[in-house]
Amino acid sequence: MVRLMPVLKNPKHEAYAQAVARGINKTKAYTDAGYKYSEQSASRLSRNVQVKARIAELSVKVVQAIGQKFDATVDRIAHELCSIAFADPAELFDGDGRLKRVSDLPPHVRAAVASVETVRGGGIKVKLWNKNSALADLGRWRRMFVELQGADDFSSPCARQDRKFECARSVAHFLAQLLQEYRHIVVGQCRV
């Protein structure tokens, strides 16, 4: 049985931990929790052992809630990123060069469409999601890019644990952004 950490005794610490777990940057989370603006103090609070553990726990809960709401499995996220990264704009048009109706587009092409607008004069503007960002996300996910790191980054178990925590927080932040981008599609509110 997994033992969950209780809510932090200090309400400001708890508010800070919840905000950071939702993907809000440390300084904004610090001021939102009721503290006076201070990047240094926000950074120090994020290193507090209890706050750090609470953020890690809440980050997992955020990821699980978003995952359940959107069926956000690794396969599905990878598929969506591939749809954006490898979208062929030619598939938006029929053989005569006319824009196809959205309902006539294959699912992988619809996934790459960010918006469709009617412009003055009766034209239609189709905007696709950012292909470079999707390619970069896929490359990072597949570990295609190597970042140079100092020797002491690997020297202590704490440093390795910090990287795991930052990775979990990055995933939570990415999924929170995804939730914000797709919120207009969801019926009702998703509370995480």
User: pLDDT tens, 27-54?
Assistant: 999 999 999 999 999 999 999 999 999 9
pLDDT in the model for residue 185: 41
Q: Can you read off the two tokens belonging to residue 129?
A: 């999601």
- pTM across the whole model: 0.44
153-165 burial, b at 16+ Cβ within 10 Å, e below that, comes to eeeeeeeeeeeeb
The residue extents of the domains of the chain are 1-70+147-183, 72-131
